[in-house]
């Protein structure tokens, strides 16, 4: 008799529709709120994305998961209350929690220690604590959760997965204890999402997800030479194919609306297919070998707010002298999604558009030197520095930085539709949190809606004290002046805007919440406060009115 392996995960939710994702241990039919979906099979694993339609707007719909007619979730020992689908109302306040970077390790010592106290320390998971708070007070439950990258780590944490890798193939040869194929990726997702509190959270809060480098490999697509080097490694193709296929299953399809699923050619071939690996793996191999195949970016309409999720990893153009975050076709799609009348426009992109001004100028300098501004020897050294310190944010892709600047400026000025109440770029990646606001040159700011960069990272992967000191220095005036001088010397263009830090940087395990309510918007950042095992709390680091 079929049973649940993973899930349920509540994914896409609108006023009248929802999708619920599950993994089961054998082929079966999955039923949620009267909707029935057959599983599909990939490499011995079974999955279903159940599409529930005809729901009432602005209503809570408690649900269970039935496999071949038998209730399999919730169980008697499931934490919290029964899972629930909360449909959007189309108006009124929405709480959108967001952040990134969550290492899956147990909530016990040494893992709950700080990184300074123990190299395995990661302190307390902010999402795990959020789930505890929801169990104590339903009012703490956000309407949506944006997971902005590094849902799993191929190279860090996950002790259960590392032990299974050691048993399966050993770790004496490359890539050691890092994952190499689809099967090992499934272990990472199981370890990350099966923890009871996390399972309860994901069952009742609609999630949207983007991948970042650690979902595939540290420094993924940081430069063309990096890609060439990785493709020479005997294990890389298996890793990449396994990552693409597992990301599509575990993360991507749940981002899509039922209408978008109906248009997805791969989904149409995979849905209910007991030999879906014959479709999915060759498709993933084509993407890995050619770089083509799919647009991972997507959008969500949330009442009067539009959220555009920009894939800032898989679709990069890495040509020296012409580096871009996305190619021309995807950029045209992004521009199209920014057209319209919105109360607020959100751009969710894993790597920040705006770093500290000093780090932005340093990345712009590095890009120019990598492109040969100071000769071939300096270019080789700059490439090594680019990888060593992760210079791969929007500031390192100057053409895309300026294109996003201009697009958001036009939206804020009401040139692409009704002027919104605010424009907010939501990001993670950098293991600290902050909020900054864009300033325009004299004469260009008049009448524009405010534009913000809101960064929240990590959920669970904090920096050491030494690393925190480096970040604080990077927000300082002396560092910024030196970096700006280097950038100018290398011929980097001025960013054309300035931005001021409003709050942060904050270095805790943390989760941010953006509340939108009509034309009003407010951001809150909460950090974890240790307590007894089931009595951890979130404490507010700052709150800021945005519009």
Alpha-helical runs (H) found in 396-450? 398-412
Amino acid 193: pLDDT: 97
The pLDDT profile of the chain, 547 residues, written as one tens digit per residue, is 899 999 999 999 999 999 999 999 999 999 999 999 999 999 999 999 999 999 999 999 999 999 999 999 998 877 767 899 999 999 999 999 999 999 999 999 999 999 999 999 999 999 999 999 999 988 999 999 999 999 999 998 889 999 999 999 999 999 999 999 999 999 999 999 999 999 999 999 999 999 999 999 999 999 999 999 999 999 999 999 999 999 999 999 999 999 999 999 999 999 999 999 999 999 999 999 876 668 999 999 999 999 999 999 999 999 989 999 999 999 999 999 999 999 999 999 999 999 999 999 999 999 999 999 999 999 999 999 999 999 999 999 999 999 999 999 999 999 999 999 999 999 999 999 999 999 999 888 788 999 999 999 999 999 999 999 999 999 999 999 999 999 999 999 999 999 999 999 999 999 999 999 999 999 999 999 977 666 789 999 999 999 9
- CA 130 to centroid of chain Cα atoms: 18
Handedness of CA 18, 260, 326, 438 (dihedral sign): negative
Nearest alpha-carbon partner for 133 in 528, 545, 399: 528
Percentages of the chain per state (helix, strand, coil), in multiples of 5: 35, 25, 40
Instruction: Specify the pLDDT at position 131.
Output: 95
3-state secondary structure (DSSP) of residue 51: strand
pLDDT of residue 533: 63
**What tokens does 320 get?**
């020296």
Q: How far apart are CA 459 and CA 433, in angstroms?
A: 10
Per the structure block, which two tokens stand in for 390?
Answer: 């992760």
CA 547 – CA 545 distance, rounded (Å):
6
Taking a C-beta distance cutoff of 8 angstroms, is the pair 204, 138 a contact? no
pTM of the model: 0.97
Distance CA 156, CA 425 (A): 28
What is the spatial distance between Cα 203 and Cα 248, in angstroms, rounded to a whole number? 19
Token representation of residue 477: 């005036």
Q: How many CA atoms lie within 13 A of 48 on its CB side?
A: 28
What's the confidence (pLDDT) of residue 178? 96
DSSP label of 494: P
């Amino acid at each position: 008799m079929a049973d649940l392996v993973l899930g349920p995960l509540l994914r896409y939710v609108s006023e009248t529709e929802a999708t619920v994702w599950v993994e089961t241990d054998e082929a079966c039919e999955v039923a949620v709120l009267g909707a029935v979906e057959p599983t599909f099979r990939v490499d011995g694993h079974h999955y279903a994305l159940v599409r529930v339609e005809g729901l009432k707007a602005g209503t809570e719909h408690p649900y269970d998961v039935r496999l071949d007619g038998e209730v399999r979730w919730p169980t008697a020992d499931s934490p919290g209350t029964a899972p629930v689908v909360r449909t959007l109302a189309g108006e009124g306040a929405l709480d959108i929690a967001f952040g990134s970077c969550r290492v899956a390790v147990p909530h016990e010592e040494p893992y709950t220690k700080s990184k300074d106290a123990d190299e395995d320390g990661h302190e307390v998971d902010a999402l795990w604590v959020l789930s505890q708070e929801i169990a104590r007070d339903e009012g703490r439950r956000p309407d949506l959760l944006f997971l902005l990258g590094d849902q799993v780590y191929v190279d860090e944490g996950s002790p259960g997965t590392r032990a299974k890798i050691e048993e399966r193939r050993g770790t004496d040869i490359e890539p050691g204890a890092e994952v190499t194929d689809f099967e090992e990726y499934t272990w990472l997702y199981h370890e990350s999402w099966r923890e009871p509190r996390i399972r309860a959270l994901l069952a009742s809060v609609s999630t949207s997800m983007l991948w970042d480098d650690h979902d595939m490999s540290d420094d993924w697509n940081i430069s063309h030479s990096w890609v060439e080097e990785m493709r020479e490694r005997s294990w890389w193709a298996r890793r990449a194919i396994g990552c693409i296929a597992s990301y599509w299953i575990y993360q991507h399809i749940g981002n899509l609306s039922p209408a978008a699923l109906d248009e997805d050619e791969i989904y149409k071939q995979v849905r209910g297919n007991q030999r879906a690996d014959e479709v999915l793996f060759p498709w993933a191999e084509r993407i890995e070998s050619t770089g083509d195949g799919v647009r991972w970016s997507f959008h969500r309409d949330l009442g009067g707010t539009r959220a555009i999720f920009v894939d800032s990893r898989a679709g990069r153009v890495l040509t020296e002298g012409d580096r871009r975050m996305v190619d021309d076709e995807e950029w045209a799609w992004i521009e199209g999604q920014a057209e319209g009348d919105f109360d607020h426009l959100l751009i969710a992109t894993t790597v920040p558009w705006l770093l500290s001004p000093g780090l932005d100028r340093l990345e712009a300098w590095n890009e120019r030197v990598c492109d040969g501004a100071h000769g071939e020897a300096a270019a080789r050294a700059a490439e090594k520095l680019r990888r060593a310190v992760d210079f791969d944010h929007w500031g390192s892709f100057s053409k895309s930085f300026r294109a996003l600047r201009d697009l958001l400026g036009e939206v804020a000025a009401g040139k692409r539709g009704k002027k919104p109440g605010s424009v907010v770029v939501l990001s993670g990646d950098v293991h600290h949190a902050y909020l900054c606001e864009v300033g325009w040159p004299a004469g260009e700011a008049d009448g524009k809606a405010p534009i913000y960069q809101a960064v929240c990272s990590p959920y669970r992967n904090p920096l050491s004290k030494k690393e925190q000191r480096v970040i604080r220095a990077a927000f300082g005036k002396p560092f910024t002046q030196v970096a700006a001088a280097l950038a100018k010397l290398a011929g980097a263009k001025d960013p054309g805007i300035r931005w001021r830090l409003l709050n942060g940087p904050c270095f805790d395990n943390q989760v941010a919440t953006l509340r939108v309510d009509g034309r009003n918007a407010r951001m809150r950042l909460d950090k974890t406060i240790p307590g007894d095992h089931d009595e951890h709390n979130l404490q507010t680091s700052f709150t800021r009115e945005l519009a």
